[in-house]
């Protein structure tokens, strides 16, 4: 049987349409031609897919610095119809939410300071990678590094970043580890491009998030005997970070669980104090009988070979209902209990 030219034309046309539709679908919905590394080669595509999920991935913006004069980098990646991932260097601001380490977040147990939830996290950049200041020189004259933020925004779920609450999410350690790798990779690329630090990617392993929120009793806050406000506070709850976390934190909640009433942070990492406080405040002499230096809510003192830093913030009526935090039973009981736990001399006068 002989096939007419008209029939052949129809068959070829159908094939072309089918192949075209298939090719368009492949381009539209898959990452068949996606390179192994994105953001000018800074990050691995497989880690981006782990964080953003299925769908066609596109790099919307990618900018690495070209010198130390302005070591600011930014990369925005999106998955079609899904979520956006933004990696960006930031200057440190005292009011920044990242200054407080939520115990529900996971931290690198080695290498740079940082903390990661499923969709958000931060990492301190290598020493020397400090962004140009915008009027904050007096507040942070000796800061040697800024932070790199990693934020995921799910379109249609949240209008703004930073609305996710790590304490209320089910931890996804694989997503957190991928987000941490993305931050570390991009930070190393930023350091190399700026010439402000080592281009080696730090070897990181994330700690587990702290156990679930549990009831708390004043006088036993954060599981520490004797730590309390000396007042009758009903319906307390608390969450304590994983014991392996470099930044030990404990958040205590009152009846309103959306915001902690108290935030306790303990660290022997010398980079953390200037991340949350000014050098002037850290060098301020303490009241008579106290050991170390600091200001209301923050103190650092020698503990063997370590420099122990203790930071307490929260509701003013709980942290400093008197002339200062140093005069409250809460602060004095806490710093001395932590010091004793670590084999140090008392910090506050007994």
The string of DSSP letters for 172-221 reads -HHHHHHHHHHHHHHHHHHHHHHTSS--SPP---BPPPPPPPEEE-TTSG
The answer to whether 228 and 333 are in contact (CB under 8 A) is yes
* Residue-wise pLDDT tens digits, 210-242: 998 899 888 999 999 999 887 777 788 999 999
Q: Record the pTM.
A: 0.83
Residues 289, 299: Cα–Cα separation, whole Å: 13
pLDDT of residue 168: 78
Chain mean pLDDT for the chain: 81
pLDDT of residue 264: 94
pLDDT of residue 19: 47
Which residue ranges in the chain fall short of pLDDT 50? Answer: 11-12, 14, 16, 18-19, 21-27, 94-95, 159-163
Q: Which secondary-structure segment (H or E) carries 47?
A: helix 45-52
pLDDT of residue 18: 46
pLDDT of residue 249: 95
Residues 201, 103: Cα–Cα separation, whole Å: 25
pLDDT of residue 250: 96
Q: Is the dihedral of CA 301, 296, 132, 192 positive or negative?
A: positive
pLDDT of residue 29: 52
């Amino acid at each position: 049987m002989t096939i007419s030219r008209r029939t052949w034309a129809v068959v070829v046309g159908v094939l072309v349409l089918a192949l075209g539709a298939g090719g368009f679908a492949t381009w539209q919905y898959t990452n068949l031609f996606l390179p192994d590394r994105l953001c000018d080669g800074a990050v691995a595509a497989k880690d981006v897919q782990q964080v953003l999920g299925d769908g066609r991935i596109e790099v919307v913006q990618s900018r690495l610095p070209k010198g130390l004069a302005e070591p600011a980098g930014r990369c925005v990646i999106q998955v079609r119809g899904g979520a956006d991932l933004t990696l960006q260097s930031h200057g440190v601001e005292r009011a920044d939410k990242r200054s407080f380490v939520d115990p529900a977040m996971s931290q690198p147990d080695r290498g740079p300071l940082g903390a990661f939830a499923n969709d958000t996290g931060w990492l301190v950049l290598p020493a020397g990678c400090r962004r140009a200041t915008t009027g904050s020189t007096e507040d942070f004259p000796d800061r040697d590094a800024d932070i790199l933020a990693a934020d995921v925004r799910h379109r249609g779920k949240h209008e703004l970043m930073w609305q996710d609450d790590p304490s209320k999410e089910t931890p996804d350690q694989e997503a957190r580890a991928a987000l941490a790798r993305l931050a570390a990779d991009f930070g190393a690329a930023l350091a190399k491009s700026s010439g402000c630090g080592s281009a080696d990617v730090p070897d990181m392993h994330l700690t587990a998030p702290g156990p679930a929120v549990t009831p708390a009793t004043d006088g036993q806050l954060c599981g520490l005997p004797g730590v309390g406000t000396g007042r009758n506070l009903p319906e307390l709850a608390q969450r304590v970070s994983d014991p392996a976390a470099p930044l030990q934190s404990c958040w205590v909640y009152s009846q309103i669980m959306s915001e902690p009433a108290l935030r306790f942070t303990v660290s022997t990492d010398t980079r953390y104090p200037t991340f949350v406080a000014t050098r002037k405040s850290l060098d301020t002499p303490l009241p008579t009988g106290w050991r170390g230096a600091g200001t209301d809510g923050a103190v650092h003192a020698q503990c063997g070979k370590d420099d122990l830093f203790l930071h307490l913030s929260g509701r003013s009526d709980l942290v400093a209902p008197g002339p200062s935090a140093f005069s409250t039973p809460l602060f004095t009981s806490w710093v001395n209990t932590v010091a004793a736990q670590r084999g140090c001399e008392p910090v506050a006068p007994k």
